[in-house]
Amino acid sequence: MSFTVLGGEGFIGGRLKARIAARGHEVRAPSRAELGDLGGDLGHVIYAIGVRAQFRSRLRDTVEAHVSLVGELLQRIRCRSFLYLSSTRVYAHASSSHEDALLPVKPADPDDFYNLSKVAGEAICLRHAAQTTRVARLSNTYGLEPTGENFLPSIIRDALGKGRIVLRSAPGSTKDYIAVDAAADHLIDIALGGRWRIYNVASGLNTRSGEIADAVGRAAAASVEVVTGAPEASVAPIDIARLSAEFPHQPSSLLADIPSLVEAYRRAAQS
């Protein structure tokens, strides 16, 4: 099979390229500068272009990446399937995390700008006539991401570089985490033959930030402190019944993977 990964220079896109190649498929990853010249049959397209941690200060870039470019590409490219990577963050205010749940948003909430842009991108894909144009709502992925700005890479770098982790959210705060390679394999399977238009790609298990910090602290011999009055932010478990019913799914355990993950960050820092 032939794949085209859009956004292949990013964390998730890079792992997608590696996993696609490891499974014996052809893969290309054009740069943003090359998107205007895309032609021919692109095979199975996975759209991994996005703005992550800096979306609050890059509103225009976020809309272009999550909405405008998606619509433009779907109008002019030829492909066997198109898989748009959205986020399980869209369930922030929902009463259910099932793929068919209603998704309330708060336009006045700066954090919801990301969710609004992803929902708009999803809507463009789901209005497309081809049933092979799909959406994958991806949970928090983890793996070696030395320059990552999210919670896990940040506390691992602090643990290794400063010998100290400072938690700015309550230890009871929870999130769903899935290993990036496991997520990539699910995304490839969905692109090749998913029966539904929308999938949650997650572990289905929540992990407390306090447990994560303690595990990282043990692996890196670092202390753990909690900011006084740190707010608690927890999400409901992500519904993965659809994913699990169609594809083999073994939930990854972040806590079990932390010692090897910390060691990978240590080696990367020393190289």
- pTM value is 0.95
The neighbouring-strand residues paired with 177 are 140
pLDDT of residue 222: 98
**What single string gives the DSSP state of each residue in 146-182?**
TT--SHHHHHHHHHHHHSEEEE-S-TT-EEEEEEHHH
pLDDT above 90: percentage of residues in the chain: 86
Q: List domains and CATH numbers for the chain.
A: 2-141+177-201 (3.40.50.720), 145-174+205-236+252-270 (3.90.25.10)
pLDDT tens per residue, range 28-71: 999 988 998 888 899 999 999 998 878 888 899 999 999 999 99
What span, in angstroms and rounded, lies between the C-alpha atoms of 226 and 165?
A: 8
Concatenating the DSSP letter of every residue in 204-251 gives: S-EEEHHHHHHHHHHHHT-EEEE-TTPPP-B-PPP--HHHHHHS----
Find out whether 80 and 43 touch, Cβ atoms under 8 Å. yes
Q: Of 97, 68, 93, 71, which Cα lies nearest the Cα of 82?
A: 71
